[in-house]
Amino acid sequence: MKPNHEEIGVGATEELSLRVSVATLVRVLFKNPKDGNLMLALERKATLRESEVEIKSQPFGGAIRILDMDAIHDLIGNFHFDSKSSRAEQDFRLCIRPSSWSVLQEFCLQHISRDDDPILETEPTRELAEEFYDTLKINLQPEQYIHKPVATVVENEAAPTENTHAKGYPTVRVYRIFEASITDSSLANAMLKNSESLSHQSLCELALEDAQNDGKGRANAILALPLKRITDHYLNVSPDERNSATFFEKHQLDETVPAILEGVIVPKYQIL
């Protein structure tokens, strides 16, 4: 008898030692209302870690949801979610046998490129709506943007994750990359205003306030950067430097940022 998702275990074991993350990354673009330049919007996340607040900016997006758990079980047998949070959301953050990675990777690549796939979530719309609400307290509407898939990338070399729910787990990844162009000028204005008005210190204070109010010690905002300048930045550093988190104009950028930039090669990612 196959388990329902509430019965599936949590965390890595000696046997289920490889973490697999399958997620969307979204290149969110809008025109700067002031000068018409094309801007890249990133999610600016403040997180309280022990006694300090870390602020890092990353692409919009997140783990896709598994819609049919039985299909995964039929393919690779027993698996665990990496955390209770992933299990509750049915997020594709799993701990599996390392020997199952190649067949699971092929399975994911087949399904995430399909429209309305019955097994895996294949659109970025849910995550975009959730994250725009987190950053702007705006209910993002489908008519405010247009989106399209642009690539799929795989990270085959397992590396320890920084995810707070599974920190340190050796992880391989599949990313479905989309481009979302904001067509609503009022939304573009709100995004630029949010990026310009919230200082580093203000965002830290919001995260601390959240922790004091029995929250998780988190706060979110938008970081809007000229697309050409951030692309040129990555083109002007060595390929190996693109494999890691970096700083751009005092902003700490997640290692996934160059993965969404057109024409920027990141050695650890295989583009499919």
What are the pLDDT digits (tens) for 39-54? 999 999 999 888 888 9
Residue 124 identity (one-letter amino acid): P
Whether pLDDT at 56 is above 60: yes
- Mean pLDDT throughout 77-83? 95
Whether pLDDT at 4 is above 80: no
pLDDT at 5: 66
pLDDT at 3: 61
C-alpha to C-alpha distance for 55 and 37, rounded to whole angstroms: 26
Query: H/E element holding 187?
Result: helix 185-197
- Mean pLDDT throughout 48-75? 93
- Mean pLDDT throughout 80-94? 95
pLDDT at 63: 95
Among 202, 166, 4, 181, residue whose Cα is nearest residue 94: 166
The Cα-based distances of 59 to 26, 56, 72, 122, 251 in angstroms read 6, 10, 27, 17, 14
- Mean pLDDT throughout 262-272? 93
Please list, residue by residue across 25-55, b when 16 or more beta carbons sit within 10 angstroms of its beta carbon and e when fewer do.
bbbbbbbbeeeeeebbbbbbbbbbeeeebeb
Q: Which of 23-27, 47-51, 216-220 has the highest mean pLDDT?
A: 23-27
Whether pLDDT at 137 is above 60: yes
pLDDT at 105: 97
Whether pLDDT at 6 is above 70: no
- Mean pLDDT throughout 247-266? 94
Whether pLDDT at 153 is above 90: yes
Query: H/E element holding 130?
Result: helix 125-136
